[in-house]
Amino acid sequence: MSDLTILETDHVIVQQSSGYQIPGYLIVQPKAQCTRLGELSGESCTDLFRQIALAETLVYEVVRPPRVYVMKFAEMNPQVHFHIFPRTVALEAAYLAQVDDRPPLNGARVTEWTWAHHGELGHSDEDIREFVAAARAWVFARVKA
């Protein structure tokens, strides 16, 4: 298991993003190599969406943001994968301090801004490690229940 892996099933891997220093920014991807959802087997597709829902719930419960975005782009990395993105109160405040915007926010703009400024948000490697540990504990508690 990678240092960033939160859970792994027969078909899906859920990991803390390695590209963005934001606790709770998860990447959910099928193990099968594919560039379109329609290329997945029914079982793999079912598991993928089950894990996306689980990842969203995990982020809401562990990070406690007011909003979680679930996105699929597959532009820079053509393999099917989903971004689970916590739009926290602190992130919203940092965004609004630099961008002429107001609620209701455009999630795509917030995400784009965050990608450009994630290093300025003050999250450390330790913050990421703590989140991953808490997320794994959350998953373990749910599986044991």
pLDDT class of 2 with cuts at 50, 70, 90: confident
Tell me: pLDDT of 9 over 90.
Answer: yes
pLDDT class of 125 with cuts at 50, 70, 90: very high
pLDDT class of 145 with cuts at 50, 70, 90: low
Tell me: pLDDT of 93 over 70.
Answer: yes
Mean pLDDT lowest among 44-53, 65-74, 104-113, 136-145: 136-145
Give pLDDT tens digits for 105-115.
Answer: 999 999 999 99
Domains of the chain: 5-88+122-139 (3.30.428.10)
Confidence (pTM)? 0.95
What residue type is 30 in one-letter code? P
Give pLDDT tens digits for 20-64.
Answer: 999 999 999 999 999 999 999 999 999 999 999 999 999 999 999
Question: What is the rounded CA–CA span in Å between residue 142 and residue 78?
Answer: 32
Percent of the chain at pLDDT exceeding 70: 98
